[in-house]
């Protein structure tokens, strides 16, 4: 049986008299859905529908991708299985585990993608070559 290599998370959201509030908070209770301490926050914007972002994986980093505006398709590959997830709700996040190759594409107009990660930036943490990724997956007998 294959282990899950991603998880969809629904974050708590409240309609208020002057807008909507969505909370991203550490914990596992109903109101706290981020399963790690946040060490890095990235925001990507200004992508066109033809752009492709990502094209890498991480040795240790877990991250959550959230489209806070617009939407995109996220392609996932753990070396044995593939999945394609459509993100487009600011209350929904895609939790990615280490050694999951990912690309984002098919960006809608005005997409803003928020990424929460459990590690600080370290270039050595990235695998940017697909063949090297597959070598790691095979050698470590992952998934």
Q: What three-state secondary structure class fits 139?
A: helix
Residue 2, H or E segment? none
State how far the Cα of 81 lies from the Cα of 72, in Å rounded to an integer. Answer: 20
In a domain, 133, yes or no: yes
Q: Please give the mean pLDDT across all residues of the chain.
A: 93
Task: Catalytic residue, from 56, 58, 59, 102: name it.
Answer: 56
58 is catalytic: no
In a domain, 36, yes or no: yes
How much of the chain exceeds pLDDT 70, in percent? Answer: 95
- Taking residues 25-29, report their average pLDDT: 81
Question: Does residue 6 surpass a pLDDT of 80?
Answer: yes
**Structural domain boundaries, residue 39:** 6-139
Question: Does residue 2 surpass a pLDDT of 70?
Answer: no
Question: Does residue 1 surpass a pLDDT of 70?
Answer: no
In a domain, 33, yes or no: yes
pLDDT value at residue 3:
63
**Per-residue buried b or exposed e for 55-72, using 16+ beta carbons within 10 Å of the residue's own CB:** eebbeebbbbbbbbebbb
Residue 113 belongs to a domain with what CATH number? 2.60.120.10
Structural domains of the chain, count: 1
pLDDT value at residue 132:
97
In a domain, 85, yes or no: yes
* pLDDT tens-digit series, residues 42-78: 999 999 989 999 999 999 999 999 999 999 999 999 9
Q: Smallest Cα–Cα separation from 103: which of 64, 63, 131, 72?
A: 72
DSSP-assigned letter for residue 34: B
In a domain, 1, yes or no: no
State how far the Cα of 41 lies from the Cα of 107, in Å rounded to an integer. Answer: 20
In a domain, 60, yes or no: yes
In a domain, 91, yes or no: yes
How would you classify the pairing of strands 63-69 and 126-127? unpaired
- Taking residues 17-34, report their average pLDDT: 84
């Amino acid at each position: 049986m294959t282990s899950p290599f991603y998880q969809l998370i629904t974050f708590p959201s409240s309609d208020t008299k002057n807008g909507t509030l969505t909370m991203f908070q550490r914990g596992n209770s109903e109101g706290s859905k981020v399963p790690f301490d946040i060490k890095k926050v990235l925001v990507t914007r200004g992508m066109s529908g033809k752009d492709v972002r990502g094209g890498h994986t991480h040795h240790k980093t877990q991250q959550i991708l959230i489209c806070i505006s617009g939407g995109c398709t996220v392609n996932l590959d753990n070396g044995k299985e593939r999945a394609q997830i459509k993100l487009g709700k600011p209350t929904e996040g895609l939790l990615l585990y280490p050694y999951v190759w990912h690309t984002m594409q098919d960006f809608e107009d005005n997409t803003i993608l928020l990424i929460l990660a459990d590690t600080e930036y370290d270039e050595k943490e990235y695998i940017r070559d697909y063949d090297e990724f597959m070598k790691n997956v095979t050698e470590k007998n992952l998934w």
